[in-house]
């Protein structure tokens, strides 16, 4: 099973959209195996966004991500990274299609509500930054067969 890290960013938490956003993943049949409310430290934000260090938006991004609590999730399903990215929509709400999380709830180029891993390698690294192995819960969804069939 593939895993993806999802962060409901400060604007999603402050606008009280967490329940609506999380329900999009659950309604798709994606399993939540880790969840926490936290305030990201400067050190953690710097490590998470290290690939962007030196870019013009880096400092603002780190400040934004440490400005308020976030909700961090680990999602699990076959193909979860691609599914989650489709559900999230284009990076900026003003460019995202209606029906996506960013398309329905976002309009800003500065605040984009949600982060999702973009590859299995990134997911593995990101999950380990935010969660200890014992914080992830291994369980079977009772409706898994009806959601995904036997061929996935």
Cα dihedral sign, 85-25-34-102: positive
The yes-or-no answer on residue 115 being catalytic is yes
Catalytic residue among 48, 52, 115, 145: 115
Cα distances (angstroms) measured from residue 10 to each of 33, 41, 51, 86, 88:
21, 13, 21, 21, 16
- Alpha-carbon span 27 to 19, nearest angstrom: 12
Helix (H, G, I), strand (E, B) or coil at 138: coil
Question: What residues are annotated to the active site?
Answer: 115
């Amino acid at each position: 099973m593939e895993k993806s890290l999802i962060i409901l960013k400060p604007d999603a938490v402050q606008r009280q959209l967490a329940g609506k956003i999380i329900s999009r993943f659950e309604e798709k049949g994606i399993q939540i195996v880790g969840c926490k409310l936290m305030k990201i430290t400067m050190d953690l934000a710097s490590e998470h966004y290290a690939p962007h260090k030196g870019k013009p938006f880096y400092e603002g991004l780190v400040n934004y991500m440490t400005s308020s609590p976030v909700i961090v999730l680990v999602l699990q399903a076959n193909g979860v990274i691609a599914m989650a990215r489709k559900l999230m929509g284009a990076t900026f709400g003003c460019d995202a299609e209606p029906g996506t999380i960013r398309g329905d709830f976002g309009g800003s180029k500065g605040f984009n509500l949600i982060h999702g891993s973009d590859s299995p390698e990134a997911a593995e690294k990101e999950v380990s930054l935010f969660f200890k192995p014992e914080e992830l819960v291994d369980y079977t969804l009772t409706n898994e067969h009806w959601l995904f069939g036997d061929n996935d």
